[in-house]
Chains A and B, each alone.
Chain A
Amino acid sequence: MHPFMKALTVACVTLGLTIASGLAGEPKSGGILKMYHRDSPASASIMEEATYSTLTPFMGVFNNLVLYKQDVPQNTLDSIEPELATSWSWSADNKTLTFKLRTGVKWHDGKPFTAKDVVCTMDQVRGKSTTNPLRKNPRLAWYQNVTDVTANGDDEVVFTLARPQPSLLALLASGYGPMYPCHVSARDMRVAPIGTGPFKFVEFKANESIKLTRNPDYWKPGRPYLDGIEFTIIPNRSTALLAFVAGKFDMTFPTEVSVPLLKDVMAQAPQAICVLAPQNVSSNVIINRDKPPFDNADIRRAMALTIDHHAFVDILSEGKANIGAAMLPGPEGVWGMPDEMLRKLPGYDPDVEKSRAEARKLMEKSGYGPNNRLKVKISTRNIPTYRDPAVILIDHLKHIYIDGELDVVETANWDAKVSRKDYVVGLNLTGSAVDDPDQNFYENYACGSARNYAGYCNKDLQALFDKQSQITDIEARKKLVWEIDAKLQEDIARPIIYHLRSATCWQPYVKGYSPMVNSSYNGYRFEGVWLDK
Chain B
Amino acid sequence: MGAYLVRRFGLMLLTLFGISVIIFVLLRLVPGDIVDILFDSAGMVNPAEKLKIQQDLGLDKPIPVQYAAWIGGLMHGDLGYSYVSEKPTLSEILPRLPITAKLAGMALGFAVLIGVPLGVISAVRQNSWVDHVLRVISLAGLSMPSFWLGLLILMGFVAAFGTLPIYTEPPKTMLDGFLLLAVPAAAVGFRSSALVMRLTRSSMLEVLRQDYIRTARAKGASPGAVNFNHALRNAMLPVVTVIGIEAAFLIGGLIVTETVFNIPGVARFLVEAIRWRDYPIVQNLVMFIAVVVVVMNFLVDMLYAVLDPRIKYSD
Give the contacts of A232-247 with B (CB-CB under 8 A).
232-236, 238-239, 242-243, 245-247
The residue in B38, B49, B154 that gathers the most chain A C-beta atoms within 10 A of its C-beta is B49
Does residue B8 face the partner (Cβ distance < 8 Å to A)?
no
Partner of B40 from the list A48, A140, A235, A412 (CB cut-off 8 Å) is A412
Q: Is the CB of A419 within 8 A of B262?
A: no
Bound form: Cα–Cα A238–B151 in Å: 8
> In the assembled complex, how far is the CB of residue A23 from the closest CB belonging to chain B, in whole angstroms?
27
Does residue A416 face the partner (Cβ distance < 8 Å to B)?
yes
Q: Is the CB of A232 within 8 A of B168?
A: yes
Q: Of B82-90, B201-209, B239-247, which stretch is located at the interface?
A: B82-90
Report chain A residues within 8 Å CB of B39: 136, 415-416, 419
Q: Is the CB of A53 within 8 A of B41?
A: yes
> In the assembled complex, how far is the CB of residue B280 from the closest CB belonging to chain A, in whole angstroms?
13
Q: Is the CB of A243 within 8 A of B164?
A: yes
Does residue B97 face the partner (Cβ distance < 8 Å to A)?
no
Q: Of A202-210, A298-306, A514-522, which stretch is located at the interface?
A: A202-210
Q: Is the CB of A242 within 8 A of B164?
A: yes
Partner of A412 from the list B37, B155, B164 (CB cut-off 8 Å) is B37
Does residue A450 face the partner (Cβ distance < 8 Å to B)?
yes
Bound form: Cα–Cα A234–B85 in Å: 18
Report chain A residues within 8 Å CB of B169: 209, 230, 232
Report chain A residues within 8 Å CB of B166: 234, 239, 243, 248
Report chain B residues within 8 Å CB of A411: 40, 275
Does residue A91 face the partner (Cβ distance < 8 Å to B)?
no
Give the contacts of B222-280 with A (CB-CB under 8 A).
259-262, 264, 268-269, 272, 275-277
Does residue B62 face the partner (Cβ distance < 8 Å to A)?
no
Q: Is the CB of A242 within 8 A of B45?
A: no
Report chain A residues within 8 Å CB of B49: 135-137
Report chain A residues within 8 Å CB of B46: 136-137, 140, 450
Bound form: Cα–Cα A191–B272 in Å: 18
Partner of B92 from the list A140, A206, A245 (CB cut-off 8 Å) is A206
Q: Is the CB of A207 within 8 A of B41?
A: no
B164 closest partner in A (C-beta) = A246
The residue in B40, B52, B269, B272 that gathers the most chain A C-beta atoms within 10 A of its C-beta is B40
A414 closest partner in B (C-beta) = B40
Does residue A18 face the partner (Cβ distance < 8 Å to B)?
no
Q: Is the CB of A205 within 8 A of B158?
A: no
Report chain B residues within 8 Å CB of A204: 85
Does residue B177 face the partner (Cβ distance < 8 Å to A)?
no
Bound form: Cα–Cα A51–B40 in Å: 10
Q: Is the CB of A416 within 8 A of B259?
A: no
Bound form: Cα–Cα A492–B169 in Å: 50
Q: Is the CB of A419 within 8 A of B168?
A: no
Partner of B84 from the list A50, A206, A249 (CB cut-off 8 Å) is A206
Give the contacts of B22-52 with A (CB-CB under 8 A).
31-33, 36-46, 49, 52
Q: Tell whether A416 pairs with B260 under 8 Å between CB atoms, given A206-B85, A242-B154, A248-B168.
A: no
B154 closest partner in A (C-beta) = A242
> In the assembled complex, how far is the CB of residue A188 from the closest CB belonging to chain B, in whole angstroms?
9
Q: Tell whether A413 pairs with B32 under 8 Å between CB atoms, given A187-B86, A243-B164.
A: yes
Does residue A177 face the partner (Cβ distance < 8 Å to B)?
no
Does residue B53 face the partner (Cβ distance < 8 Å to A)?
yes
Does residue A42 face the partner (Cβ distance < 8 Å to B)?
yes
Please count how many residues in chain B sit with their CB below 8 Å of the partner chain's CB atoms. 45
Q: Is the CB of A412 within 8 A of B276?
A: yes
Does residue B15 face the partner (Cβ distance < 8 Å to A)?
no
Bound form: Cα–Cα A207–B87 in Å: 14
A236 closest partner in B (C-beta) = B259
Q: Is the CB of A416 within 8 A of B37?
A: yes
Does residue A451 face the partner (Cβ distance < 8 Å to B)?
yes
Report chain B residues within 8 Å CB of A243: 164, 166, 168, 262
Report chain A residues within 8 Å CB of B126: none
Q: Is the CB of B269 within 8 A of A50?
A: no
Bound form: Cα–Cα A209–B263 in Å: 11
Give the contacts of A420-450 with B (CB-CB under 8 A).
420, 450
Does residue A49 face the partner (Cβ distance < 8 Å to B)?
yes
Partner of B42 from the list A50, A233, A238, A242 (CB cut-off 8 Å) is A50
Q: Is the CB of A235 within 8 A of B259?
A: yes
The residue in A190, A232, A242 that gathers the most chain B C-beta atoms within 10 A of its C-beta is A242
Q: Tell whether A190 pairs with B86 under 8 Å between CB atoms, given A207-B268, A239-B154.
A: yes
Report chain A residues within 8 Å CB of B33: 416
A49 closest partner in B (C-beta) = B41
Give the contacts of A383-426 with B (CB-CB under 8 A).
410-416, 419-420
Does residue B162 face the partner (Cβ distance < 8 Å to A)?
yes
Partner of A419 from the list B31, B44, B157, B162 (CB cut-off 8 Å) is B44
> In the assembled complex, how far is the CB of residue B168 from the closest CB belonging to chain A, in whole angstroms?
5
Does residue A76 face the partner (Cβ distance < 8 Å to B)?
no
> In the assembled complex, how far is the CB of residue B102 from the closest CB belonging to chain A, in whole angstroms?
16
Q: Is the CB of B45 within 8 A of A415?
A: yes
Does residue B163 face the partner (Cβ distance < 8 Å to A)?
yes
Report chain B residues within 8 Å CB of A187: 86
Does residue A40 face the partner (Cβ distance < 8 Å to B)?
yes
> In the assembled complex, how far is the CB of residue A54 from the closest CB belonging to chain B, in whole angstroms?
7
Q: Is the CB of B264 within 8 A of A208?
A: yes
Does residue A41 face the partner (Cβ distance < 8 Å to B)?
yes
A415 closest partner in B (C-beta) = B40
> In the assembled complex, how far is the CB of residue B176 from the closest CB belonging to chain A, in whole angstroms?
15
Q: Tell whether A450 pairs with B31 under 8 Å between CB atoms, given A42-B84, A206-B272.
A: no
B262 closest partner in A (C-beta) = A234
In the complex, per-residue mask of A42-62: 1 if CB is within 8 Å of any chain B CB, else 0: 110000111101100000000
Report chain B residues within 8 Å CB of A205: 264
Report chain A residues within 8 Å CB of B259: 235-236, 239
Does residue A30 face the partner (Cβ distance < 8 Å to B)?
no
Q: Is the CB of B162 within 8 A of A247?
A: yes
Does residue A528 face the partner (Cβ distance < 8 Å to B)?
no
Does residue A138 face the partner (Cβ distance < 8 Å to B)?
yes
B48 closest partner in A (C-beta) = A127
Q: Tell whether A242 pairs with B158 under 8 Å between CB atoms, given A412-B277, A415-B40.
A: yes
Q: Which residues of B are at the interface with A, using a C-beta cutoff of 8 A?
A: 31-33, 36-46, 49, 52-53, 82, 84-87, 92, 151, 154-155, 157-158, 162-164, 166, 168-169, 259-262, 264, 268-269, 272, 275-277
In the complex, the 3 A-B pairs of residues with the closest C-beta atoms, listed nearest first: A416-B36, A450-B44, A42-B41
Q: What would 21 A/B residue contacts be, using CB atoms closer than 8 Å?
A: A40-B272, A49-B41, A49-B42, A54-B41, A137-B49, A190-B86, A206-B82, A232-B262, A234-B166, A243-B168, A268-B158, A412-B275, A413-B32, A413-B36, A414-B40, A415-B40, A415-B45, A416-B32, A416-B33, A416-B36, A450-B46
